[in-house]
Structure 1
């Protein structure tokens, strides 16, 4: 049995295990690819010393980890890993006895109260992908807010307050008040008028 695989079968002292940096529930269901550092792969011990079938199974594990919860991990169970690979437990355990094995580079970690397997490079890729997803969400949220404020400015102007509509601070404060009073709701004329009156504006068109 390979050194990596053997170490994964020893009794586990949970308190000594690293905490996985991605929380349970974090997944990347929508992505269909991941960053592949081919130069690191071509210079790795697994590529240089592993048999081709072992390298194929290892690559399958990296791909399967992308759909796990949390993303980038594997279950700490030979039966579950074998099931993910669509092979028998005996066949999988045969692979773990190879040197190096498909589990080369994987080690135990904790996710809450659960023990799972992580791989340094797979984790790096997963963290980077999540970061990019969050940046994309931030951009979409900013665009949505910018368009909502633009529409609100036009509505205030239509209500006969072009001077207030030109004041960025007023429009932003009005937008925030509307979000506070009607979170996720539409900014109808009546709601805009209500919030403007709350801010001390008079002589509004009803």
Structure 2
């Protein structure tokens, strides 16, 4: 007589925590990459029936508008509705090794149990990282342009190129202006920043002679 199989009960606390916050969204300027070469080389593509592949791909798209982004509900009725199936057929598909829900596994999302897919999670994280880098690049460009305008404004007030070439000085002055003199940077504002730089000994008083 063979021994009964050992069954392990999985509780929500045993599930992996989904790494992406429910607050994260993929807006119109962000997208999840579809790696065609990786897909065509995968065991899933090679062994999954065409009907299942269509639904599998659709789930990749559906999950991008879910919360958290990149997950699916762990609910047969909701999944059946999304795939235009009856619940009984959905249950059959979930039990298939190469069904539409292949590699979708349960995870914990802010106290709720949902489904995640390792490739989708990886690609969503990549999309969010690319978006963050784009925002950072835009901010860095804005700062660079503001510092260039500051240098130009100081030169118009009589400071030489050698003086305004000092990056530490210019950044200190810019930070002071952002904190103390918000708004349009007029001639009077530039002059006040120049005087403040001298008072703080960021630069020698001789730069103000004759100005």
What is the rounded CA distance, in whole Å, between the counterparts of 1:77 and 1:24 in structure 2? 18
CA contact (8 A) 2:24 2:68 kept: yes
Q: Greater RCO between the two (CA within 8 Å, min separation 6)?
A: 1
What is the DSSP-based 3-state SS (H/G/I as helix, E as strand, rest coil) of the residue aligned with 2:131? helix
Moved more, 10-19 or 114-123: 10-19
CA contact (8 A) 2:72 2:115 kept: yes
User: What's 2:4 paired with?
Assistant: none
Deviation per CA, 1:176-198, whole angstroms, max 9, x where unpaired? 22223357x44344443334333
CA contact (8 A) 2:74 2:114 kept: yes
Q: 1:140 to 1:32 in 2, by over 3 A?
A: closer
What is the rounded CA distance, in whole Å, between the counterparts of 1:34 and 1:133 in structure 2? 11
- Following superposition of structure 1 onto structure 2, how do residues 10-49 of structure 1 map, counting pairs within 5 Å? 13-31=11-29, 33-49=31-47
Larger-gyration structure (1/2): 2
Tell me the C-alpha RMSD between the 2 structures: 3.2
Q: 1:148 to 1:58 in 2, by over 3 A?
A: same
What is the rounded CA distance, in whole Å, between the counterparts of 2:65 and 2:118 in structure 1? 17
TM-score (norm 2): 0.75
Ranges in structure 1 where 5+ consecutive residues have no aligned partner: 1-9
Q: 1:180 to 1:56 in 2, by over 3 A?
A: same
What is the rounded CA distance, in whole Å, between the counterparts of 1:121 and 1:152 in structure 2? 47
CA contact (8 A) 1:29 1:67 kept: no
Aligned length: 196
Post-superposition offset of 1:175: 0.9
Post-superposition offset of 1:173: 0.8
TM-score (norm 1): 0.76
Matched, 1:175 2:174: yes
Post-superposition offset of 1:146: 0.8
User: What's 1:104 paired with?
Assistant: 102
Post-superposition offset of 1:33: 4.9
CA contact (8 A) 1:19 1:110 kept: yes
Post-superposition offset of 1:94: 5.2
Post-superposition offset of 1:60: 0.3
